[in-house]
Amino acid sequence: MKLASVILDIPTQALDAPYTYAVPADGGDGDQPVEVGCAVLVPFGGRRAVGFVVALEERAEGNWPEGLDPAKLKGIVRAVSRPYFDEEGAACAQWLSERYLAPLSSCVRLFTPPGGVPRMVRSREGFWRLEEPAVGEVDDRWVMPGPAFAEFTPRKNAVKQASIVEALRAGELRVAELAAEFGAVSGPLKTLEKQGVVRVERRRRMRGMQQDESQGEQPASFTPSAKPPLTAGQAAALAAIDAARERAAGEVVLVDGVTGSGKTEVYLQAIEATLAAGRTACVLVPEISLTPQTVGRFRGRFGDTVAVMHSRMSQGERFDQWDFIRSGQARVVVGARSALFTPLANLGLIVIDEEHEGSYKQDSAPRYHARDVAVWMARRAGAAVVLGSATPSIESLHACAKDPTWHQVALPERANGKPLPEVRVIDMAKEFSSGSRSMFSGALSRALAEELSAGRKAVLLLNQRGFAKFLLCRECGFVPECPSCSTSLTFHERGNFLICHHCGYRISAPAVCPECGSPYLKKFGAGTQRVEADLRVLLDETPSVGPQVPIVRMDADTTSGKGAHQRLLEEFAAADAAVLLGTQMIAKGLDFEDVTLVGVINADTMLKLPDYRAAERTFALVEQVAGRAGRAELPGRVLVQTYEADAAPIRAAAAYDRALFLRDELPKRKLLRYPPYVRMANVLVWGASEEAVRHSAEALREGVAAQVRDFGGQEWDVLPASPCVLAKLRGTYRWHFVVKCPLNGNLSSVLLPFFRARKPERDVNVAVDVDPDDLL
């Protein structure tokens, strides 16, 4: 008898293991065979459920798995999809579930196509039914006359067959067109096809592409983009990657290259060598860096064998790209972190660009880090991992120093031989004390005038969208706050409203204080809208610049629409002189030759956050955005405005001196026991009742502490439970506590049995974030 291990598509920790079902000898009710990776319909309790097959095995009579009663064994009803993943995907899902303490079904879901999975839904009457996938292939099946078409005479009662044959006399038609005219035509078409009367040909159309475009078939006229000569540093990096790939042991190469050092060209040539060896490559890029400019470089080198996956695509477009990868025609996948889980066969190289980025950490179950998953996958597949960054994460630098399978290669110079732009730190406290009240220092105002009047471009960074961070009544001190989140509302001048950037709560801005009626409401803290308004005034009042210079603002508000990101970048590129103003999304991945000035409006926005990575993120952001200037023949300059001019992260970024930053940061991390010296788990507890959340968090902390005492070690810590920094979010109260263990400690093996055995509470939710990226 053939047995199947099935993970039920029900996201709960209670279902912590696959269930065993018998595979019917005839395959079940449907035409699709039961295979590893396919979705199946199975009986579960008093109803049916969808599950995913993760293993199949043959068992002889009497040779049953321990604890299995064959009399009680239920059978699979039928398969309801083609396979989504193979045995390796199933193994990865199991590993993710155990390492990140996540429900098995959530981990398996990572490997399925967006919107392309059938599911069980409950009707208002309480009945369960199978709902077909929300998206699928575009039905571009074409019907054309077959060899027996001319001699065919349909039976008198075969009305649909006769209608189809008559319609085809005018020429070939789509199945969808026949169905629209005659209703369900699948049965008649199958009959006619068996008799040779018609031929049905599938012509796959990819959403998001022009009708005459194909993907996966390299046109004969395709010419790859030219390969520039490599610098000595690039050649050394490429040699290190090739050697790691040939050793096929899952080794990691950290390409530590300054901005403009040509890391992307190293990736391209490493991928070319991987493809020549008959293997495939996956390239991960932060979501905000997935610009048409970035994708274009890979398509320019590898043509239509490149698949792209990111969240700005529609669900249908993502399904098409996923299916294109499954077909085996895609050889290179470029995408955000979820691209790791696409069905790319024979993987030989994984590239993670801007590896320090926090967006590689998933913030919902399973809370995986793409870097760690990539290393696990590479070791299983005999592939290599390439991490690239101008500001590598402290964890990656530490691994290179301690782990012999991690290798660091430096690219200290720009590929074009040009120097890095000079960075000048401007102390805004001194500007304020001298009487200036402008958000633009005198030096930045003069630099903008000089560069723009010369027909060049500038980039201004402020990591805060909106017009002002908050309103404050100058009479009574009242600040409008979100009723669902423990945060003040952000003022937006366009539309004159207040909004919570966490939950979306929105109200009209009051004309007077709701508490005391005072009209003196002060707008504190500048957002990108406010900077844009003040910058427009500044430029209009500068005779050498004038109102003709466009200001292109890029933040979450202006890029929410589909295609907005690309449209704004094209607008900036097309202008002779322009200012690109935005949040951190403009700090990386942009390569414009005529940008000669970068200004950081306020470098302190992240520096004082109550999080252990605040200094590291500030250092990385300043150095990354500085790299947008002077990338070609024109020299660049960078002006960093700050009220913390003596802060080590800012001084170090201005001097391109990572050693200075690490000398300040690492002793603090070691003393306070933060990564890279320990591993951590952040246990989050939330719910609608503040008292219930507090009680549950404290009880849970005591239980975890007892578990750690019994199965951990002396160097393990369980910190007290306390409210999160953002103590209320979207109407729920939030508490947390942190578990710390040595680097070689196995967090998951200690915590997993405790949380799997724990009974869920009705009104309180619990999640465990293993290796958290922040503690906010």
Q: What is the CA radius of gyration of the chain?
A: 30
Task: Residue 206: name the closest of 287, 110, 283, 314 by CA.
Answer: 314
Which run of H or E residues covers position 376?
helix 370-381
What would the two tokens of residue 613 be? 């990575």
Q: Are the C-beta atoms of residues 7 and 58 closer than 8 Å to each other? A: no
Exposed, middle or buried: residue 61 (CB in 10 Å: 0-12, 13-18, 19+)? Answer: exposed
Give the position of tokens 């790691």: 244
User: Hey, what amino acid is at 627?
Assistant: G
| Residue 284 φ then ψ, to 5° | -100, 135
Q: Are the C-beta atoms of residues 366 and 401 closer than 8 Å to each other? A: no
As annotated, the binding site includes 473, 476, 482, 485, 500, 503, 513, 516
Q: Are the C-beta atoms of residues 245 and 350 closer than 8 Å to each other? A: no
303: DSSP letter: G
| CA–CA gap between residue 350 and residue 348 (Å, rounded) | 7
User: Hey, what amino acid is at 94?
Assistant: Q
As annotated, the binding site for Zn(2+) includes 473, 476, 482, 485, 500, 503, 513, 516
CB contact set of 86 (below 8 Å; sequence gap of 6+): 36, 37, 343
| CA–CA gap between residue 168 and residue 141 (Å, rounded) | 14
| CA–CA gap between residue 536 and residue 540 (Å, rounded) | 6
**712-729 as b/e: b if 16+ CB within 10 A:** beeebebbebebbeebbb
| CA–CA gap between residue 293 and residue 419 (Å, rounded) | 24
**75-105 as b/e: b if 16+ CB within 10 A:** ebbbbbbebbbeebbbbbbbbbbbbbbbbbb
Exposed, middle or buried: residue 199 (CB in 10 Å: 0-12, 13-18, 19+)? Answer: middle
| CA–CA gap between residue 396 and residue 351 (Å, rounded) | 14
**What is the CA 576 to chain-centroid distance, rounded?**
33
CB atoms within 10 A of CB 646: 9
> Quick one: CA torsion of 171, 175, 177, 181, rounded to 10 degrees?
100
Q: Are the C-beta atoms of residues 444 and 458 closer than 8 Å to each other? A: no
Task: Residue 283: name the closest of 247, 248, 241 by CA.
Answer: 241
| Residue 768 φ then ψ, to 5° | -115, 120
Q: Are the C-beta atoms of residues 360 and 284 closer than 8 Å to each other? A: yes
